[in-house]
Structure 1
């Protein structure tokens, strides 16, 4: 596994460098490195290089770093959700969190609410919407003081449809077409609004969540075997599932708030990684965040360059790549979801 981790780390570093330098105004890797070094160390930049420097440091670097964080977070939370609900087809949005976040963002965009928060108003609305759905799913799914996997999935799906309907209704009655197009683009995912100010919170949430989930790796192995087996092995399934629900909801809400609803990453990447390292969650959670980060960096690069100067929603790219990969996994001999047969 060490070779895979090192290889992915190197691939991520190279991908980040190339992605930062690529775009409508391409910058060679060597020059990109020089600009980044100057920004970090306070080095001098000549007057004729100011424009290129600002594009690299102020526009592309925070966007690429956000892609790294979102890709890593979605992949890690996908692993956790699949273990929590014992469903290989689950992804970070199966609990309806993304639909709630989208509805919150739509409401703020159309109504102009939370205006006091300035450029962070839409993200705040999305996060509040995610928390609202998480609370509703938790309250509806509880039965006898516990959370049952099937009830979680069914409640999440129902909430997702419900809040998608709410979002569609808000868009339908939106007073102008520009708000509608902005909302539709945001609901399909995009990193165009990335700023340095958005990175610290997402960095902390993603890092802490990935570390906590990896420390719970052995417990996730047991949880995936079923509640009765888990209890016989000394794992408190209700407490563990409740903690996982809170953690995954917060992480998903934080990522949707800054990037919109990006699908297929949390569904496909865990399965791809299991092909490489097996089904043990400690190993999967060491590799999946790196693999997801690499994938998201390239997906975002494609989103902003394929039809330049226009930009595709990144959710379109991840779906176009994710669907063939997922179908290939379904048809692959010798692979069962959760590991190898």
Structure 2
């Protein structure tokens, strides 16, 4: 395999919910000239004995069905001139997908998501979100269309929206978004959300002057980042808006008619994740367009940075981090 060739891993449960993700995986593989590997995981909870006759029969039937459906998937990809390598794993889907990405040295994982919200999300969770928290590379999550919904949007990625809070992970996402925009000949829009100000016990606004200074400082930084992106030949603009991050980001996606949302994520787990939550995951559950989350960006050899490397970046004007 050419070491400079991008490698895409498409994780699928072979259900109708994964159809949209399959289309994006094949489209990106074709436009990027990438090697495409498809992995399907036969879900088998830990603690169950695979050698027990009933379990062996159950796994055997799953294997037959998955093998048959992967052959059909390869035929569909071949019709689009996209060669595909397939693999089947057994175990917990999120763990097996992350392991496959490591073994394949994947540059991008593509996965479908049903966009669960509310009680359904609390009870059932999301395989896509678990993959995002542990994946060794960026993850493109494509939300499935509900039955009876309008036809899927165009697969072309013309307009990319990148929320930036000036943290390292959001700037890494911007760097990766610029790479995607170069491949897709797309434009970028940078967005920073200025969260609501605090109120004192007497309900008066605190630090109004400092808030204005912060707004001016962040506007200047957004402008500088947009200029850096424009400096590599891309079309870039920026916007500063107020509100709660997830809601403001989703509003910006709709108003910009974005084809792709690119977000950084800390990949928190356990107690930290339960306490702080994740803006990326909140957006993922509600966004209509695909969401590309970047926790561990991977770049091709010879990549020239668009934004400053981590050690040379300025501090966040809101948090002084």
Which structure has more relative contact order (CA 8 Å, sep 6+)? It is: 1
Q: Choose between structure 1 and 2: higher helix proportion.
A: 1
TM-score after normalising by structure 1: 0.23
TM-score after normalising by structure 2: 0.24
